Amino acid sequence: MSRSLVIFQALADPTRLRILALLRTMELSVGEIAQVLGQSQPRVSRHVKILVAAGLAERRKEGSWVFLTLGTEEDFGPLLAAMDRWDRHDDAERAADIARLKAVRTVRAMAAEDYFETHAANWDAIRSLHVAEGDVEAAILRVLAPEPIGRLVDIGTGTGRMLELLAPRADSAVGFDRSPAMLRLARTKLAQVGLAQAGLENAELRQGDMYALPLAAGGADVAVMHQVLHYAQHPAAAIAEAARLLAPGGRLLVVDFAPHEREDLRERDAHVRLGFSDAHMAEWFAAAGLHAEEPVRLDGELTVKLWLGRRAADGR
């Protein structure tokens, strides 16, 4: 059977078209798609199987969850352009699906914010359960040390530990967090530390969403996401936003877990993602215009990885 026939047969169903429209917004789990469409997971899984067989979607198993994304842009781009042209006057159902998806995501984001508010005081201990934090911080310094830090942005700063570690080596530093409770704790902590440690007078804390940071493009030389990305509903978008901030030659350092099977962390510690592979991180870096360097691996109960991406010196 020809590829084109397989593709058009896969598209000849309204539910599968709705699924593709949702996947254009972000990577989604099968459960999220089922919730938005108001259908059972087994039924959605059957539709997904057809889309995957046609190369229109790709699936990735992560613990007990299955995440879906669109197929390659090279194969799928012309098809999306045609669908947009054909359906530009008939998008009411698509708009309704996107609105329901936004509602689902809002509920989950609010649950995560409640978790951060409740656990702010114990945040440093929570983030250091799996590999000794001293080993992680030493690796961070090794990765960033060969070059000046310049203007530092810490995304998802939490209690401000990365500012405490790196701000004395930077020309300026700003930490963003969405949680007011985290920011209150960070301000108190940095004020106390600043009495005994020079170099923190150039650090500031601001409220901000990692998907839409209130900072101009090119405003950072180094951006750091330390144990933040596994809370992201849309990791690729968070990386793209971080990359937007980088000046030519700027660097993005992501510190997070390698893939694991600890399902309990979803419910107990509000983790959305059970770690990240080198391949996915390299793909997201490339899509954001960053060159991925060789990752650093730290083994523990859960393996921690340090991924460094760099924007070209000419800014492209």
56-89: pLDDT as tens digits: 888 877 666 777 888 776 666 777 777 777 766 5
pLDDT, tens only, 204-263: 888 888 999 999 999 999 999 999 998 888 899 999 999 999 999 999 999 999 998 888
Confidence tier at 309 by pLDDT (50, 70, 90): very high
pTM over 0.75: no
How far is the C-alpha of 294 from the C-alpha of 279, rounded, in Å? 11
The answer to whether 51 touches 23, Cβ cutoff 8 Å, is no
CA-wise closest residue to 68 among 19, 35, 112: 19
**Region for residue 275 given its phi and psi (left: phi exceeds 0; alpha: psi -120 to 50; beta: otherwise):** left
| Structure tokens given for 50 | 């057809």
Task: List all residues 6 or more positions away from 74 whose beta carbon is below 8 Å from its beta carbon.
Answer: none
Q: What pLDDT was estimated at residue 196?
A: 47
pLDDT, tens only, 5-51: 888 888 888 898 888 888 887 778 888 888 888 888 889 889 989 88
To the nearest 10°, report the CA torsion of 188, 164, 219, 295.
-140
| Structure tokens given for 160 | 């401000």
Q: What pLDDT was estimated at residue 91?
A: 66
Supply the DSSP symbol for 59.
Answer: E
Confidence tier at 195 by pLDDT (50, 70, 90): very low
Confidence tier at 134 by pLDDT (50, 70, 90): confident
pLDDT, tens only, 150-185: 999 999 998 888 998 999 999 999 999 988 777 877
| CB count in 10 Å sphere of residue 48 | 22
Q: What pLDDT was estimated at residue 109?
A: 61
Residue percentage of the chain with pLDDT more than 70: 82
How far is the C-alpha of 215 from the C-alpha of 208, rounded, in Å? 9
